[in-house]
Amino acid sequence: MFDLDPLIRRTHQERRARNGLLRNAVIWLPLFTVTGGALLYFLFSKLTGGDSGTWFLIVVLSILSFLFGYQGIHALLDLIHGDTTTEGLVTRRWARTDSLVMRSHYIRLDGNEIFRIDNLFHGEAKAGDYVRVRYYPRSAVVIELEKIEVDRDESAALPEGDRPRLNFS
């Protein structure tokens, strides 16, 4: 019923993308803090001659701390700094199963930018479409995707690198 109203739909898309970032920050930042603290503890203990921990444990904690920190810090930075906008030609669209239950959908623009899209709201984008994308830059989560109609006269006036490549011959 309310999905037909563009303002409500846009607000729902923004809230859904922001809640996903908030969820990532809440999940990954505490894990980063715990593994980072354990890494510092065992590293300090090993360097000062203590018997707690091994180098294998330090390497495992380093890898886990990096992975958790990468996800959590990027989500936090996106929440703090906000979104940005770009335009381009969709050169590829695909979906893959990221975990046992989650299926993620992606698009690639002509500038080799890859974005994760929500299939419920952005399912209309397909290869060959020229789109404007509003997204969070560090996590590449799309907030809003809008198809743009490009006239052949307008594309001829664009510089060579900015023209949409719609040659399917």
Ramachandran region, residue 147 (left: φ > 0; alpha: ψ -120 to 50; beta: rest): beta
pLDDT of residue 165: 53
pLDDT of residue 49: 87
pLDDT of residue 80: 95
pLDDT of residue 84: 94
pLDDT of residue 169: 45
pLDDT of residue 157: 45
pLDDT of residue 154: 52
Residues of the chain where predicted confidence (pLDDT) is lower than 50? 1, 155-159, 167-169
Ramachandran region, residue 140 (left: φ > 0; alpha: ψ -120 to 50; beta: rest): left
In sequence order, what E strands does the chain have?
A: 84-97, 103-109, 114-117, 130-136, 141-147
pLDDT of residue 53: 77
Q: Are 164 and 150 in contact (CB under 8 A)?
A: yes
pLDDT of residue 152: 55
Nearest to 128 by CA among 159, 167, 102, 98: 167
pLDDT of residue 65: 98
pLDDT of residue 37: 97
